[in-house]
Amino acid sequence: MTTGQHYIFMIILTVNTGSSSVRLAAFSGDSGALTQLASARYELSDSEPEIMLKAFLDAHGLTEIKVAVHRVVHGGMNLTASCLIDQEVELEIGRVAPLAPLHNPKALRWVRAAGEVLGTGVSQVAVFDTAFFTDLPEVARTYALPHMLAEKHGLRRYGFHGLAHHGMWQSWQGIQPGAGRQGRIISLQLGAGCSITATDNGSPRDTSMGFSPLEGLVMATRSGNVDPGLLTFLLRHENLTPEQLDQLLNDRAGLLGLSGISADVRDLLASTDKLAQLALNVYCYQARKYIGAYFSVLGGAEAVVFGGGVGENVPDVREKILAGMEWCGIDIDLRANRDARGLSCISSGASRVEVWVVPVDEAAGLAREGAALMGKPMQGNLRGYESG
């Protein structure tokens, strides 16, 4: 950006649809600055998207929206970068919806709702969670399946939570004096969905989620890794349809399925039930196992970074995941971990590997990406995903 360059004021709406909720935010841009005007979170079960969107706009007096930016979880093989949404893009988002059944259909519903509420004169942008992992190394993205079958159906590891993992990398890199883009981090995005990524100098080298957001870590209601033979066993012996198996793995497994009590780690931490404790132990064990593996992938790491609702706000989980990892140079400061609020270093002075809690601002990342795509790059004290 050249000194003194001026950009036309515009208001950006961001729409971040999850599996059970949507987060709306609005940002204003003027002279290259970006300021958040409003934000709100709604349960998807509360009402129709059009009603929720109108209520948000009316409550904050937002009448001059110029662009709506949507987080879309899965872009598939063809949507590998942020883009303006047209009919062809809508069709492609719908085509790959079976790969992210909890997310893509809801995002598409909100795209259509925004078009109806805002009108055809407002541009809409899609930002894909898979985009960050487009150039994942071949050895990390390839499944050991017949090559022709993989080519036919696009069977590869796509990776998800790209907005969050790239944002955590940017935040960590930004606080390193003179580090430039150098550094290796292992980032954990822990929320309803959970994933872990190994990033080397800003490029992902491996990630836990794969062809779908089901692979990898134990999650709130998603299973994470299971033996594929177990799935064919269930299909045969429980007489499940593919749709029923999808629902089992997405909605009835994970912490909820293991404990039989709750999908919320805070409920399980407060419980003395043996299955609740087992669920937590499995959850943390799987995360710890991935951290160890990613130290090997990266040949060491400068930092382990926690983000997401659980990663940022539940110190007991962070402590439990990192217990016993002194072998790789991790030593957390228990008091700093307990007291962490916002961007915080929780490793001790003796730790050879930094451990950070990094709040992830996906709305800001969406706004920046939308502004960049519309040809109006904006600056601000924001964390999030950027082009390139």
Q: If you ran DSSP here, which 8-state letter would residue 292 be given?
A: H
Structure tokens at 242: 């593919």
The answer on pLDDT for 381 being more than 60 is: no
Give the residue with greater pLDDT, 100 vs 79.
79
Q: What is the mean pLDDT of the chain?
A: 91
What pLDDT sits at residue 150?
95
The answer on pLDDT for 385 being more than 50 is: no
What pLDDT sits at residue 377?
52
Percentage of residues of the chain with pLDDT beyond 90: 80
Model pLDDT for residues 171-208, shown as the tens digit of each residue: 998 888 765 557 999 999 999 999 999 999 999 999 99
Query: Could you tell me the CA-to-CA distances from 30 to 9, 11, 17, 317, 362 in Å, in that order?
Result: 4, 9, 27, 41, 21
Band of pLDDT at residue 363, cut at 50, 70 and 90? very high
Structure tokens at 226: 């299971």
Model pLDDT for residues 248-257, shown as the tens digit of each residue: 999 999 999 9
The answer on pLDDT for 388 being more than 70 is: no
Give the residue-averaged pLDDT of 14-40: 86
Interhelix angle for 315-322 vs 274-298, to 10°?
Answer: 60
The answer on pLDDT for 243 being more than 60 is: yes
The answer on pLDDT for 79 being more than 80 is: yes
What pLDDT sits at residue 6?
42
Highest mean pLDDT among 59-63, 291-295, 362-366: 291-295
Give the residue with greater pLDDT, 179 vs 117.
117
The CA distance from 258 to 217, in Å, is 14
CB 303 within 8 A of CB 172: yes
Highest mean pLDDT among 120-124, 290-294, 384-388: 290-294
Give the residue-averaged pLDDT of 329-355: 97
What pLDDT sits at residue 36?
93
Give the residue with greater pLDDT, 180 vs 108.
108
Domains of the chain: 10-128 (3.30.420.40), 164-357 (3.30.420.40)
What pLDDT sits at residue 45?
81
What pLDDT sits at residue 372?
85
The answer on pLDDT for 107 being more than 60 is: yes
Band of pLDDT at residue 265, cut at 50, 70 and 90? very high
The answer on pLDDT for 279 being more than 80 is: yes
DSSP per position, 126-183? EEETTGGGTT--HHHH--SS-HHHHHHHT-S-----HHHHHHHHHHHHHTSTT-TT--
What pLDDT sits at residue 20?
79
Band of pLDDT at residue 21, cut at 50, 70 and 90? confident
Catalytic residues: 129
Give the residue-averaged pLDDT of 105-113: 96
Q: What are phi and psi of 139, to 5 degrees?
A: -65, -25
What pLDDT sits at residue 181?
54
Model pLDDT for residues 219-230, shown as the tens digit of each residue: 999 999 999 999
CB 82 within 8 A of CB 365: no
The answer on pLDDT for 362 being more than 50 is: yes
The CA distance from 273 to 367, in Å, is 44
Give the residue-averaged pLDDT of 278-282: 98
